[in-house]
A = this chain, B = another copy of it.
Amino acid sequence: MNENMAKNDYERPILTVDVVVLTLIKEELHMLMVRRNREPFLGTYTLPGGFVHAQEDVDSEETARRVLRDKASVEVRHIEQLYTFANSTRDKRGWSASISYLAIVNADEVSLSEDAKFVPVSESVGLPFDHSLIAGMALSRIRDKASYSSLPGFLLSENFTLPSLQKVYEQVLGVKLNAAAFRRKVVDQELVEEVSEAGEYAGRGRPAKLYKLKERSLQDFGRVVMLPDSRRGG
């Protein structure tokens, strides 16, 4: 420890932002990947990310949004900070910190640029850097929040039916949910509200009513648990 050293005598680590953008395509969770246009790993697909530009970005969330705009032409519906991975080994170029974000988009509302694509999360393994770790944390986060918040609702378009919302929760949580209990909870908690407009007829059977999220921003259930039998603890 050299307390006399001025603070700027320490070499400043690299500071970047990486974003895990999740969306739902054909009822399956996908993740945005972009082709790298520089070394290292030039040409391979990784999570979208980039350096903070001190001149343009007011904060790191703005960095995340700028990176998504520039590298994938994506505007997100929801974004939240995930975790900061900061150590001497994650990037060969030196001590590096990556502020990671989780973002949710509706796949129908984006038109990706050339070098970007959505990949099923089940197939996005073995990513460069520590991106597998970051992606894993994003999936943990959305699963966790699915059990007590409206987050999975952001994967759908603005108006949706309750059966489709239930399917999204089931997809994210990885379990089947009881339809009656699901409806009761989602309505009792005032997570959704009915929308007058009639929906497209799905093809067979009684048509479902359309709903939308009651709030534009993320709502939670007061920690009421969405997982079945979770009260037993585990």
Closest to A86 in B: B60
Q: Contacts A95-B52, A148-B223 hold; do A88 and B59 have CB atoms under 8 A apart?
A: yes
- Residues on B with C-beta less than 8 A from A95 are 52, 54
Query: A3-34 vs B: 1/0 string, CB under 8 Å?
Result: 10001001111110000000000000000000
| Docked-complex contact A188 and B14, CB < 8 angstroms | no
Q: Contacts A12-B15, A38-B7, A86-B52 hold; do A223 and B225 have CB atoms under 8 A apart?
A: yes
| Docked-complex contact B10 and A233, CB < 8 angstroms | no
- Residues on B with C-beta less than 8 A from A60 are 84, 86-87, 97
Interface centre among A38, A54, A148, A230 (most CB of B within 10 A): A54
| Docked-complex contact A189 and B81, CB < 8 angstroms | no
- Residues on B with C-beta less than 8 A from A59 are 86-88
- Residues on B with C-beta less than 8 A from A231 are 222, 224
A234 to B57, CA, bound (A): 35
24 pairs of residues in contact across A and B, judged by CB atoms under 8 Å: A1-B70, A3-B37, A7-B14, A11-B54, A13-B52, A15-B86, A15-B97, A52-B86, A52-B97, A54-B88, A58-B87, A58-B89, A59-B88, A60-B84, A81-B84, A84-B99, A86-B99, A97-B97, A221-B233, A222-B230, A223-B227, A224-B225, A224-B230, A224-B233
A residues whose Cβ falls under 8 Å from a Cβ of B: 1, 3, 7, 10-15, 37-38, 51-54, 57-60, 70, 81, 83-84, 86-89, 94-95, 97, 99, 147-148, 188-190, 221-225, 227, 230-234
Question: 6 closest Cβ contacts across the A-B interface?
Answer: A59-B87, A60-B86, A222-B233, A54-B95, A12-B12, A84-B84
